[in-house]
């Protein structure tokens, strides 16, 4: 996450103050570790749910205390110590606001997604870490979103790094925190009526 960790970014947000403070402990898990395999599978399955825009199902996989944030990136001088604009985010959401966004998709007022976008989430470079909170894991990944809408508009892509906290719940996991660090300071997409 460069200058700040996901926990630091959440702590600076009003909506993120309730979020888990999980931080990485040690090196990433070996790729053949059963925990890495479980976590990586969860991330890939989630990508297919988002591609299919099964947002109500996606909401069910989110923790009640989730913090979902995509800070605004800024270009700074070497050694400045920060890469995001303090207090500014493209998204800064909790479970309630994510629920409201999904509910809006189900109405006739969601013009930005009517007709719906064609989406493809490419997930790569998945690394999983133990944390200082029991039953919580940090999953780092690279995400590339391809998005196409209509027949005449040019397709758009968004490249980003994600730091997710997955919390074990029985035989599965729930997403407890997601910090999305886009790789551009100016996004070249029509709107952000989708989820990364």
Above 60 in pLDDT, residue 23?
yes
In a domain, 171, yes or no: yes
In a domain, 42, yes or no: yes
Above 90 in pLDDT, residue 114?
no
Residue 11 pLDDT grade (very low, low, confident, very high; cuts 50, 70, 90):
confident
Residue 12 pLDDT grade (very low, low, confident, very high; cuts 50, 70, 90):
confident
Residue-level pLDDT at 19: 92
In a domain, 104, yes or no: yes
What pLDDT, in 10s, does the model give residues 144-167? 999 887 776 778 899 999 999 999
Above 80 in pLDDT, residue 1?
no
> Rounded mean pLDDT of 133-138?
97
Instruction: Kindly state the helix (H) or strand (E) to which residue 71 belongs, with its residue range.
Output: strand 62-73
In a domain, 196, yes or no: no
Residue-level pLDDT at 80: 60
What pLDDT, in 10s, does the model give residues 26-51? 999 999 999 999 999 999 999 999 99
Residue-level pLDDT at 77: 65
Q: How many domains are contained in the chain?
A: 1
In a domain, 31, yes or no: yes
CATH value at residue 71: 3.10.450.50
In a domain, 50, yes or no: yes
pTM here?
0.88
Domain span at 152: 6-182
Above 90 in pLDDT, residue 8?
no
Which of 57-71, 104-118, 155-169 comes out lowest in average pLDDT? Answer: 104-118
In a domain, 34, yes or no: yes
In a domain, 189, yes or no: no
**In angstroms, rounded to a whole number, what is the distance separating the alpha carbons of residues 147 and 117?**
6
Query: Nearest Cα to 1, choosing from 154, 164, 113?
Result: 164
The strands making up 156-169's β-sheet, listed across from edge to edge, are 24-25, 118-131, 136-148, 156-169, 172-182, 62-73, 84-93
């Amino acid at each position: 996450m460069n200058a700040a960790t996901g926990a630091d970014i959440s702590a600076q947000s009003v909506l993120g103050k309730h979020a888990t403070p999980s931080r990485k402990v040690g090196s990433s898990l070996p790729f053949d570790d059963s925990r890495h395999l479980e976590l990586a599978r969860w991330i890939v399955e989630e990508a297919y749910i988002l591609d299919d825009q099964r947002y109500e199902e996606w909401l069910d996989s989110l923790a009640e205390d989730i913090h979902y944030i995509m800070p605004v990136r800024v270009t700074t001088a070497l050694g400045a110590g920060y890469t995001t604009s303090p207090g500014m985010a493209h998204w800064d959401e909790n479970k309630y606001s994510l629920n409201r966004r999904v509910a809006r998709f189900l109405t006739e007022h969601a013009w930005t997604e009517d007709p719906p976008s064609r989406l493809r989430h490419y997930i790569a470079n998945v690394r999983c870490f133990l944390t200082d909170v029991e039953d919580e894991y940090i999953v780092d990944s690279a995400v590339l979103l391809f998005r196409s809408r209509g027949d005449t508009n040019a397709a758009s892509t968004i490249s980003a790094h994600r730091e997710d906290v997955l919390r074990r719940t029985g035989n599965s996991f729930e997403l407890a925190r997601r910090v999305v660090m886009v790789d551009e300071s100016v996004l070249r997409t029509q709107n952000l009526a989708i989820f990364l």
